[in-house]
A and B are shown apart, each in its own frame.
Chain A
Amino acid sequence: GQNIDQPTEMTATEGAIVQINCTYQTSGFNGLFWYQQHAGEAPTFLSYNVLDGLEEKGRFSSFLSRSKGYSYLLLKELQMKDSASYLCAVRDSNYQLIWGAGTKLIIKP
């Protein structure tokens, strides 16, 4: 079967750096997405990786290793507003997104 694994919950301190990992086993690979979802709101797009390596976008970076079935989302200079769930999703061979259950990130002052 297809599987996306990410930690259920993480805690970090305001101003610090946090890395959220995602491992996947899917039938085919056509890109990996990270979304942010604040409580009670819709998921919003953060990043997309299709080739190995690091994609940087401001305070957020996302890394992909296709050979290892692994990605991480790196958040720098954490702010209280970064408290949210972070969803990892992989596009499979049927061109459908397979979603992880999400990582709830708690930021403490």
Chain B
Amino acid sequence: IAGITQAPTSQILAAGRRMTLRCTQDMRHNAMYWYRQDLGLGLRLIHYSNTAGTTGKGEVPDGYSVSRANTDDFPLTLASAVPSQTSVYFCASSDGTSGAGSDTQYFGPGTRLTVL
């Protein structure tokens, strides 16, 4: 594979259930990100990781958790899903060398999640 993959592509989930969205990149990028995209709003950062073993909170972290055990994987977990978490979720990665060029973020195909 080349780039970023996400799984599942889409999911319908009952409220209160636990769900993990998977994200894997093979570009050896240091930094990874989780965004949600809702109609009429810009992408909003949920959590990020500048390097394996570290994570940070973004703009909308409540109800979500992440881990970064290695360079390639960055799963996002919803501990107890609520309907307001219905959204399209994008994982992204970048080289992560701040101050050196654009540090462009590259996006996975997204996961469309519906919480009922």
Contact = CB atoms under 8 A, between A and B. Distances in A.
Interface of A: 4, 31, 33, 41-45, 48, 50, 87, 89, 95-102
Contacts of B84: none
Interface string B1-45: 000000000000000000000000000000000000000111111
Given A42-B107, A44-B107, A97-B43, 8 more contacts: A4-B42, A33-B104, A41-B109, A43-B107, A45-B106, A96-B58, A99-B44, A101-B40
Given A87-B43, A99-B43, A42 B110 contact: yes
Contact of A42 (B102, B104, B108): B108
Nearest to A49: B102
B42 A33 contact: no
A50 B90 CA distance: 25
For the complex of A and B, the 5 pairs showing the least CB-CB separation, nearest first, are A99-B42, A42-B107, A48-B102, A99-B43, A101-B42
B98 A31 contact: no
B54 interface: no
15 contacts: A4-B42, A33-B105, A41-B109, A42-B109, A43-B43, A43-B107, A45-B106, A48-B102, A48-B104, A50-B102, A87-B42, A89-B42, A96-B48, A96-B58, A98-B42
For chain B, the bracket of interface size reads: 10 to 19
Contacts of A31: 102
Contacts of B108: 42
Contacts of B43: 43, 87, 89, 97, 99
Given A42-B90, A42-B110, A43-B90, A97 B104 contact: no
Nearest to A2: B59
Interface in B59-109: 90, 98, 102, 104-109
Nearest to A3: B42
Contacts of B58: 96
